[in-house]
Structure 1
Amino acid sequence: MNVLISGGSKNGKTAFAERAALALAGSASCGKRYYVATMIPYDDEDRKRVELHIEERAGLGFTTLEIARNIASALDLVKEDGADPAASTFLVDSTTALLLNEMYPGDYSAPADPMAAERCRRGLAGLARGAGNAVFVSDYIYSDAARYDDFTERYRADLASIDRALAEICDTVIELSCGLAVVHKGGLPQ
């Protein structure tokens, strides 16, 4: 089963996604659980956020895979770990960071890679096809009426296209809003 969880920034999506992944892993007897961390920490705030996430998932049985780009490579890493991806559950946190990493594979001095969103869509679809279960976390940052600079507008449009592609292939699509789970497609993982 594939699940997309989207919502505003820092509103509990990760904790919700962890519970969903645990429910899926338990219900499908999908052996190993993998937390695919895509964020590259750039400052103290980022590092603290990473540490908090690690503390919060301690004891939940996730093996952490740090994959900033080429997200489908998680399938190969799991095989190298001696596990079967089709009998495993993946939690990808987050598509938001993944897109930024793909847009700027070096530093931010070069122009954004125009193929980044397409690579993300292909990679995420490949992971969804190859996994026993996959839970994808994304930030819902593209719906306000404000007009931003060209980079931000492009980033928001690309993230929206990734979320639309994931929504199409996922069995369940959930939006977290004001602490409530709004199910747009499928049902809550039990």
Structure 2
Amino acid sequence: MLIVVTGGSGSGKSVYAENYSENFSTKMLYYIATMMPYDTECLERIKRHQFQRKEKGFTTLECYKDLETVNLEPNSTVLLECMSNLLANVMFSEDKIIANEAENSNKNVKDCICDYILNGINHLIVHVENLIVVTNEVFSDNGSEYKETMEYIQALGEINQRLALKADRVYEVVCGIPVLLKG
């Protein structure tokens, strides 16, 4: 089962997704953390999230980019936190593997990045019983004057749309209240 949980910054989506994952009686409960600890703010956010889930039984895996390399128990539930960090890690990576792939194909870089991330998601879907993906609602803003920021927002929008189409359930968390959008 694929469940997508979206919401704005500070909406309560992470806590909701963590609590939701406890509904499944599976062999293992994994938390795939995608936030790279770049600075003090990131470290504080990571610590806050670790504290929130301390008693919830998660085995945490740090995976910043390559979801297709993650090996998990087949009868497990996985919480992927979060898509926006994963996208930023891939999109702004120093290695140019995806840019080179785009150059050698007839696709643009954004499409190659989206495909790369969604292939990693598909790898997880095939190998686990339940996958909960947390993502961000960043599309209500007025946009940005920066080209890279707009490309990021467009890529996240495409990934979210493709995930929602594939998902069994989609929730948007607004002010801590989950609203079922699909399923």
Contact 2:12 2:174 in 1 (8 A): no
Matches within 5 A, 1:20-169: 20-24=20-24, 26=25, 30-74=26-70, 76=71, 78=72, 84-85=73-74, 87-106=75-94, 113=99, 114=109, 115-169=112-166
CA-CA distance at 1:126 after TM superposition:
2.2
Q: For each residue in 1:23-58, what CA deviation from the matched residue of structure 2 results, as whole angstroms up to 9, or x when unmatched? A: 12x2xxx11000000010111111011011111111
CA-CA distance at 1:11 after TM superposition:
1.8
Local SS of the residue matching 1:135: strand
Local SS of the residue matching 1:23: coil
RMSD: 1.7
Local SS of the residue matching 1:9: coil
CA-CA distance at 1:143 after TM superposition:
3.0
Local SS of the residue matching 2:23: helix
Deviates more, 1:141-150 or 1:50-59: 141-150
TM-score, scaled to structure 1:
0.84
Number of residues paired by the alignment?
A: 171
Label 1:145 to 1:104 Cα distance change in 2 as closer, same or farther (>3 A). closer
CA-CA distance at 1:128 after TM superposition:
1.8
Corresponding residue number in structure 1 for 2:167: 170
- Any gaps of 5 or more consecutive residues in structure 1? 79-83
- Any gaps of 5 or more consecutive residues in structure 2? 100-108
Contact 1:2 1:134 in 2 (8 A): yes
Corresponding residue number in structure 2 for 1:3: 3
Contact 2:2 2:132 in 1 (8 A): yes
Letter paired with 1:64: T
Corresponding residue number in structure 2 for 1:81: none
Percent identical across equivalent pairs? 32
Q: For each residue in 1:136-188, what CA deviation from the matched residue of structure 2 results, as whole angstroms up to 9, or x when unmatched? A: 000100233334311111000000111111111110000111222111101xx
Letter paired with 1:65: L
TM-score, scaled to structure 2:
0.87
For residues 123 and 179 of structure 2, what CA distance do their matches in structure 1 show? 26
